Chain A
Amino acid sequence: MTTDSHLIKFSGLWAAPKRYFKKELLPLLADLRLAIVLLLAIALFSIAGTVIEQGQSLEFYQSNYPEHPALFGFLTWKVLLTAGLDHVYRTWWYLALLILFGSSLTACTFVRQLPALRWFTRNTSKFYTQSRQFNKFALGAEFIGERLDRAIPLLENRRYRIWREGDTFYARKGIIGRIGPIVVHVSMMLILIGGVVGAMTGFIAQEIVPSGGTFMVKNIVDAGPWAAPQFPKDWAVKVNRFWIDYLPTGEIDQFYSDLSVLDNDGKEVDRKTIHVNEPLKHKGVTMYQADWSISAVQVKLNKSPIMQFPMAKLDAIGGRIWGTWIPLKPDLSDGVSLVARDLQGLLLIYDTDGKLISTVRKGMAVEVKGITLAIADIIGSTGLQIKADPGVPIVYLGFGLLMISTLMSYVSHSQIWGLQKDGKFYIGGNTNRAQVAFEREFLEILDQIDGRSQSGTIVTTELTKVCER
């Protein structure tokens, strides 16, 4: 109801909000002080998420942040959960800060930076024709006599671009330092936009697939509201083989999954062996090697055919173990447990009382209670993280531009004005960042114009000649 009445009001008095936006809201958003406060506020609230454990269970917060005594006198688990401090980076107030930051960034780019660039790239109206115009410069000087024609080549040697009109000139260098900050702001906007696109249209899925199995992406853990078009529908993936390479010391070297992408008819359209740091990409969906498990063990009892028993993960302290139970009698009245720690091939055999009887390796056999138990194979399963994030290209573009533009922003933009009038030469200049370096350069230029270092000039020209040779 209220929105409706607001809408009517807005359409009727469109001019007023527009005026409000231009005169009040935009300048406020573009205000540097707001930007600084926002930057520091985001920094401050982000700290909360690094100090308080994120995404834990209710019990965790209840036991770590009790009501009596409350931490700092107020931080009980109730306060913590109400404020959303268990998931700081997804709370409405944190996202609101980010949105405000994005708006400030956008406003600042259009209100301050682009107009400033227009001013600095316009050169025609920048000539000074009055000597008093030079009085405002901290780095300003005047000389008796004709010096204009001597000053210009000096500045050219120092890579200044020079515009001259009669007896007056304007010179500048490092305009790239003015463009840099604008690109920085644009790239930050791109990164934020890319992040939002990713959150809205991306998804994450996880699949545990035994070696040899085929799967379609089904187990979606997290998805944005518009992620549905990214879900893979017309293709499946076959895990041809999953294996682990071990170092001689027994530590894991690398996990590998040999994957085939199959179309609806079961035809292979893509194939790749993935490992950590080397994912498979297909139609915008990326599959990462993320986890592993033991799926089954294949055994032979005496002269039986190969039988496959599924291995289940057991709750264990200090490591992951998998186990299964193998009957040794047809009526299941006796059997042994097989336990494995990894895919290196060693199995531990326990009897029904939980006593370790023997160990056996893959491809070997052992005599257990009068029966020969041969291990044909241990089948691992690969844990895949499956992800689509259509925002990544935008974010990467932002990253690339941000790296270049922050470097560009290091360059200092220096400007020098000169005027020859009434038998005197006036020169003045400023720079926006490197005051110390510019002062040094400017004083050198003055000395050279002064002629005190005429010998210096000659040396330079001779050096240039040497270099040309």
Chain B
Amino acid sequence: MNLVALQGVLDNFSFAILFATMLIYWTGAAFPQIPLLSALGTAGMAIANLCIATLLGARWLEAGYFPLSNLYESLFFLTWGITLLHLFAENRSESRLVGVVTAPVAMAITAFAAMTLPDTMQASAPLVPALKSNWLMMHVSVMMLSYATLMVGSLLAIAFLVVTRGQNIELRGSSVGTGGYRDRTYRLNREESPDSPGVAMHPGGTAVLESVTTTEALSPQRLSLADTLDNISYRVIGLGFPLLTIGIIAGAVWANEAWGSYWSWDPKETWAMITWLVFAAYLHSRITKGWQGRRPALLAAAGFVVVWVCYLGVNLLGKGLHSYGWFL
């Protein structure tokens, strides 16, 4: 099978897989008692990830350069990043809710790329001279990875907002160390029975044991689902933020080396800065007393829109250094 035909099969297949995965995750959320669904969802995401990786690899082979030269390729690269970050977030949070929000977005992007984009825009085309630079490839790929990461983080924040709707909650996770302290109403007895193996190992401890079980020994208070979602969202955004920083700086340094200005207030540049500022505000809001809870998550959810404007919206304006005529 030749590479072009392979690509045509792979892009539609990734869409189909992601569509099925989305339905599996949604069914799983509606009927949590059905076994296997969460494993199926994870498998679906992993297969989609590999399909897209193969698709991009085939284009790399075919065109001879890193496949990030047009909208079609960049959309698939974005989806690849989203599925990758999904697998990371799901593994960390052990929550199938992650897929409920990430799968539809990944599905929608592939649907748009594989079906809505005209064939002429899907074909791989020679690079514009301005893109023939290793610096630029590094800049673009890191930016795309950061978009994917920030999108997944924002989606988790949206999931958190859905889970905690109508509640006034105080979170435990924060980066000044105000978190991690005990909720006074919560006590859990860790060493329930006297014949627990841990105690039985220790001769001499048995005598004390009776009193321990009655006075309620100190034992860990576990994170709730909301806490977990919020913290994983924070960690993913915390990873996307340095990527965004590195991506912007790579672009600035390249611009300075190429035409002598590291910042020229081009619309795309400005929007990357706006994205950076919004997520910087999010990171700061988490450590502000009295703001822990839904407020930072609202900022992160707004960040989802900002990332999309930065990624595609600016090109709709069709101005500046970063317009490659994607839509015009």
User: Which residue of B92, B235, B242, B285 has the most chain A CB atoms within 10 A of its CB atom?
Assistant: B242
Closest chain B residue to A423 by CB distance? B208
Residues of A within 8 A of B197 (CB): 451-452
Q: Is the CB of B273 within 8 A of A436?
A: no
Q: Is the CB of B287 within 8 A of A32?
A: yes
- Complex Cα gap A409–B191 (Å): 37
Is B317 close to A, CB under 8 A? yes
Q: Is the CB of A32 within 8 A of B218?
A: no
B262 interface neighbour in A32, A138, A288, A392, Cβ under 8 Å = A392
Closest chain B residue to A35 by CB distance? B284
- Complex Cα gap A87–B81 (Å): 37
- Complex Cα gap A437–B217 (Å): 24
Residues of B within 8 A of A399 (CB): 249, 252-253
Given contacts A32-B288, A407-B242, A46 and B274 within 8 Å (CB-CB): yes
Given contacts A426-B218, A451-B198, A395 and B262 within 8 Å (CB-CB): yes
B93 interface neighbour in A89, A392, A436, Cβ under 8 Å = A436
Interface residues of B in 254-276 (CB under 8 A from A): 256-263, 265, 267, 270-271, 273-274
Given contacts A385-B260, A403-B245, A407-B242, A137 and B181 within 8 Å (CB-CB): yes
Q: Is the CB of A144 within 8 A of B212?
A: yes
Q: Is the CB of B180 within 8 A of A139?
A: yes
B284 interface neighbour in A36, A46, A443, Cβ under 8 Å = A36
A445-459 interface code vs B (CB 8 A; 1 in, 0 out): 010001110100000
| A403 → chain B closest CB, angstroms | 5
Q: Is the CB of B231 within 8 A of A138?
A: no
| B224 → chain A closest CB, angstroms | 11
Residues of B within 8 A of A435 (CB): 172-173, 179-180, 223, 227, 231
Q: Is the CB of A279 within 8 A of B180?
A: no
Interface residues of B in 213-255 (CB under 8 A from A): 217-223, 227-228, 231-232, 234-235, 238-239, 241-242, 245-246, 249, 252-253
Given contacts A141-B219, A443-B220, A46 and B270 within 8 Å (CB-CB): yes
B223 interface neighbour in A116, A286, A424, A439, Cβ under 8 Å = A439
- Complex Cα gap A303–B263 (Å): 55
Residues of B within 8 A of A429 (CB): 180
Is A381 close to B, CB under 8 A? no
Q: Name A's B-contacting residues (CB within 8 A).
A: 32-33, 35-36, 39-40, 42-43, 46-47, 49-51, 53-54, 89, 116, 134-145, 195, 204, 252-254, 276-277, 279, 286, 288, 290, 385, 387, 389, 392, 395-396, 399, 402-403, 406-407, 409-410, 413, 415, 423-424, 426, 428-437, 439, 442-443, 446, 450-452, 454
Given contacts A139-B221, A432-B179, 11 further A-B contacts (CB under 8 A): A32-B285, A43-B281, A116-B176, A134-B218, A139-B220, A144-B191, A277-B133, A392-B262, A435-B173, A437-B235, A439-B220
Q: Name B's A-contacting residues (CB within 8 A).
A: 92-93, 129, 133, 172-177, 179-183, 190-191, 197-199, 201-202, 204-205, 208-209, 212, 217-223, 227-228, 231-232, 234-235, 238-239, 241-242, 245-246, 249, 252-253, 256-263, 265, 267, 270-271, 273-274, 277-278, 280-281, 284-285, 287-288, 291, 314, 317, 319
